[in-house]
Amino acid sequence: MNALKNRVQLLGNLGADPEMVILENGSKLAKFSVATNETYKNQEGEKVTDTQWHNIVAWGKLAEIAENFLVKGKEVMIEGKLVNRSYETKEGAKRYVTEVKCTDLLMLSK
């Protein structure tokens, strides 16, 4: 039951090629964004598409897979969990970020 407490599943398209970061200890981190679209009709009967952007982070082997196979526009399914973090800019301003920490990745388009 613990696996259901913080679980995210997204089906969408990559907004850009993954950005790779190699940490001092040699660990790999891939950062990328995924767009999900929801289509509905408004009160006037017009078709409206709502696009949401999600920040994804993948570590280790998943980061290597993202680096080697993911490109802008590719359709993917991401499973993971929501992670909230904060950091301070060089100017001293506090910033808050919500990301999906990827635990599973499925490439859908060729």
Q: pLDDT (tens digit, 9 = 90+) per residue, 45-101?
A: 999 999 999 999 999 999 999 999 999 999 999 999 999 999 999 999 999 999 999
The strand pair at 75-88 and 19-22 is best described as unpaired
pLDDT for res 84: 96
**What class does CATH assign to 2-107?**
mainly beta
Which alpha helices (DSSP H) does the chain contain, by range?
A: 60-69
- Band (pLDDT 50/70/90 cuts) for residue 4 is confident
Tokens of 27: 């660990």
Give the global pTM: 0.86
Upper half-sphere CA count for residue 71 (Cβ side, 13 Å): 4
Tokens of 45: 């009967």
> Is pLDDT at 1 greater than 70 in this prediction?
no
